[in-house]
Amino acid sequence: MGVPYRFERGEDVVKFMVIAAASSTIAASVALLPLSYGHALSAGQMFWNWWTWWQGDLSGILIVTPLVLGWCGRSDTAWTPAKRIEALVLLLLLLLTARVAFGELHGFSFEFVILPFIIWAAFRFGQREVVTVIAAACALAVWYTLEIGAPAAPANANEALLVLLAFNNVVVLTGLVLSAVLGERARAGLELRRRHDELEARVHARTRELEKANRAKSEFLAKMSHELRTPLNSLLILAALLRDNVERNLTPKQVQYAKTIHDAGSDLLALINEILDLARIESGAPLALELGPVRIADLQGYLEHTFRHVAQEEGLAFSVTAEGAPESLRTDARRLQQILRNLLANAFKFTRHGAVALRITTAASGWPPGHAQLDQAEQVVAFAVSDSGIGVPRDQQDLVFEAFQQAGGSSGAQYGGTGLGLSISRELARLLGGELCVVSEPGRGSTFTLFLPLRAAPFAA
């Protein structure tokens, strides 16, 4: 018939119904020919005989064929003890309801209380159990119709038979369609879950590949940085000796050349150190943090001494203030100095007129919500570096924290730098249990604020 052992889709049920209707039409038409020759029947009688015969054949095919096909294969139901008890309850309630609907309550309208049991079977059991419940319901309907005469409404036996056949066909159609649709939905859910698991596995595999490639890149950068620093340090020592010109045997022009070599080498060494730090952070290698007390006054003095001459050369006002700040905090002094040096160096680099200021205070908010260490800290210290420079557009304020990126795209060529300072500073801030944030407006300057807990353990990555 072209129908599989399982009606897997609604289209299979429709196909089966069409084949059953066509088969019943052929059988009823062929059987009616000898009857018309042997009996003088009117056209109306011929039609009603053909109609009754057709419905009977159709009902038989619809009931028996799915039952045979269903029991030719294995059940889809997992027969646990609870499922067996449920099946027994379903059977007993079906018998009781059929007795009441077909036997004690005479009326066509009560026959369809059987349908909820078909729906129950379709939702809770496999297709074999559904067709079995359908066959049982139809058999009970036939039994009570023959034995008790229910339903009582039809005027003659032919009408009673037609009502019975119509009822059976509705029950079969309801059960098969529900079973097929629910089975299709369940298979679609399994397929979706399978594809989801497959996609998730691919994503995990791809993520592991990317992590492996990233670690390899970072390890390469770290090794290359170490290899480059060794000869570069020798070059810087020799350039410093020539620049100092202790023996006074070099001309001023030669001393200037030596100073240029030393400055360029120092910039290159700083770049290599930044790449080395970034490579360690990206590869997941632990950075050695030396946590201890850092006095705010000492930090002020160090930064003022480091950048005072820069401010004088650039013609900018410069100040370092500590208003309401604690006397000290527990953190890594070297990493804190590195972060603040990067922030102040950027401020001077992008500021042509006005002022650069570092303000150290305590803070109760300002960092992104959900930061566990800052939210739970006894006290938070804020280091706010402000300038009156070019500023950062709002849509680029996240970009400036990415490696090798600078605001405006072309500002690197105009102002110099590699775009590593802020990226490393944010990562170091997080390693210290804090966060680095920016507030900026193009043309009016920027404020980069480092939030650190007063006393905190290193950030757990």
Whether residue 202 is contained in a domain is answered as no
Whether residue 395 is contained in a domain is answered as yes
Distance from chain centroid for Cα 452: 31
Q: Is 255 exposed, middle or buried (0-12, 13-18, 19+ CB in 10 A)?
A: middle
Q: Which of 24, 127, 12 is nearest to 68 (CA)?
A: 127
d(CA 432, CA 100): 78
Question: For residue 268, what are the domain limits?
Answer: 217-283
Looking at residue 449, its pLDDT comes to: 93
Listed as own residue / partner, the contacts of 179-183 with beta carbons closer than 8 Å and 24 or more positions apart are 179/7, 179/122, 179/127, 179/130, 179/131, 180/7, 180/8, 180/9, 180/10, 180/12, 180/13, 180/127, 181/9, 181/10, 182/122, 182/123, 183/6, 183/7, 183/8, 183/76, 183/127
Based on the fold, state whether residues 108 and 80 are members of the same structural domain: yes
Banded model confidence at residue 402, pLDDT cuts 50, 70, 90: confident
Going by the DSSP 8-state scheme, the letter that residue 287 receives in this structure is P
d(CA 27, CA 35): 13
Residues 411-420 as b or e (16 or more Cβ within 10 Å = b)? beeebebbbb
Whether residue 2 is contained in a domain is answered as no
Based on the fold, state whether residues 265 and 305 are members of the same structural domain: no
Where does a domain end: 237, 262, 283? Answer: 283
In DSSP terms, which residues pair with 448 in a beta bridge?
A: 385, 438
d(CA 369, CA 431): 18
**Cβ-based neighbours of 118, under 8 Å, separated by 6 or more:** 130, 133, 134, 137, 171, 174, 175, 178
Where does a domain end: 233, 259, 283? Answer: 283
Contact (Cβ atoms closer than 8 angstroms) between residue 362 and residue 381: yes
Across the chain, how many H-helices and E-strands are there?
Answer: 12, 7
d(CA 102, CA 91): 16
Whether residue 458 is contained in a domain is answered as no
More confident residue, 286 or 298: 298
Residue 260, pLDDT > 80, answer yes
Q: Which of 453, 430, 297 is nearest to 363 (CA)?
A: 453
Looking at residue 104, its pLDDT comes to: 60
Q: Which amino acid is at 290?
A: E
CATH of the domain at 316: 3.30.565.10
Q: What is the mean pLDDT of residues 433-442?
A: 90
Whether residue 263 is contained in a domain is answered as yes
Based on the fold, state whether residues 297 and 278 are members of the same structural domain: no
Based on the fold, state whether residues 62 and 118 are members of the same structural domain: yes
Q: Token pair of 410, please?
A: 């072309």
Based on the fold, state whether residues 438 and 414 are members of the same structural domain: yes
Residue 111, pLDDT > 80, answer no
Banded model confidence at residue 297, pLDDT cuts 50, 70, 90: very high
Whether residue 459 is contained in a domain is answered as no
Based on the fold, state whether residues 277 and 305 are members of the same structural domain: no
Banded model confidence at residue 155, pLDDT cuts 50, 70, 90: very low
Residues 262-274 as b or e (16 or more Cβ within 10 Å = b)? beebeeebeebeb
CATH of the domain at 257: 1.10.287
More confident residue, 324 or 149: 324
Q: Token pair of 220, please?
A: 């390469």
Based on the fold, state whether residues 183 and 229 are members of the same structural domain: no
Based on the fold, state whether residues 252 and 393 are members of the same structural domain: no
Does the predicted TM-score (pTM) go above 0.85? no
Whether residue 205 is contained in a domain is answered as no
Q: What is the mean pLDDT of residues 136-148?
A: 77
Where does a domain end: 250, 267, 283? Answer: 283
Based on the fold, state whether residues 365 and 238 are members of the same structural domain: no
Based on the fold, state whether residues 277 and 421 are members of the same structural domain: no
Based on the fold, state whether residues 365 and 319 are members of the same structural domain: yes
Based on the fold, state whether residues 232 and 140 are members of the same structural domain: no
Q: Which amino acid is at 351?
A: T
Whether residue 171 is contained in a domain is answered as yes
Q: What is the mean pLDDT of residues 184-202?
A: 88
d(CA 435, CA 95): 72
Banded model confidence at residue 451, pLDDT cuts 50, 70, 90: very high
Q: Which amino acid is at 113?
A: V
d(CA 305, CA 299): 10
Number of domains forming the structure of the chain: 3
